[in-house]
Amino acid sequence: MFMFMLSHNASTERLKKKFQHSGETIHRKITEVFDIIPALTHRFVKLPNVNQTHVKIASDPRYMSFFQNCIGAIDGTHVPITISEESAPPLRNRKGILSQNVMCACDFDLKFTFISCGWEGSASDAGVLRSARSKGFHVPEGKFYLVDGGYANTPSFIAPYRGVRYHLSEFRRQESYANYRELFNH
């Protein structure tokens, strides 16, 4: 029920028809799953081991000198939501879609190491990160995360050069780089 609700953005009415249960039962079961999520988060969302370089980097000399202190990547994503029209304005993202902005950090095994959710769709990625840092998310001294162009470039968060191509699809058509900034971004 819960997974169907999330994957189809299903209303309570749709869940009642699909699963042939009362609204009270639907609400109770969905609430039970939501109550379990914090425990699952503590069990599965863990900071990476910052005392050793990931084997994929350590075993490849092309990456070792550049990424030995990298502990993962951070990006934001917009999760579509349904909400009343009077509550909608701050939840409307730059594309006009109602959403929540969710920031996730993952390690080189694609395991989540940090999640900040519940932000309005209008919130910037940089604003979500700034808030997460003020609430305890921190990067150990000398380590860094790779981030996209929505974040500021700092010693703890390495972003691509602004105004320079960095999406993989833009590099598939070309065999060489125009300059060192394109090489860095790729």
pLDDT in tens, 142-161: 999 999 888 989 999 998 87
- The mean pLDDT value of the chain amounts to 86
pLDDT recorded at residue 41: 82
Residues 157/126, Cβ–Cβ less than 8 Å? no
Cβ atoms 5, 27 nearer than 8 A: no
Name the helix (H) or strand (E) containing 65: helix 61-67
Q: In whole angstroms, what is the distance from residue 154 CA to residue 126 CA? A: 12
Query: What are the CA-CA distances from residue 37 to residues 2, 32, 40 (Å)?
Result: 12, 9, 5
pLDDT in tens, 1-54: 988 888 887 888 999 999 999 999 999 999 999 888 888 888 888 888 888 899
DSSP calls for 2-61 = HHHHHHHT--HHHHHHHHT--HHHHHHHHHHHHHHHHHHHHHH-----TTS--HHHHT-H
Tens of pLDDT, residues 87-134: 888 888 999 999 999 999 999 999 999 999 888 999 999 999 999 999
CA distance 94 to 1: 31
CA distance 118 to 143: 27
> What residues does each domain of the chain span?
2-44, 55-185
Please give the pLDDT value at position 43.
Answer: 82
Q: Which two tokens stand for residue 109?
A: 């095994």
pLDDT at 62: 86
Secondary structure of residue 140 in the 3-state scheme:
coil
DSSP state letter for 87: G
Q: What are phi and psi of 18, to 5 degrees?
A: -65, -45
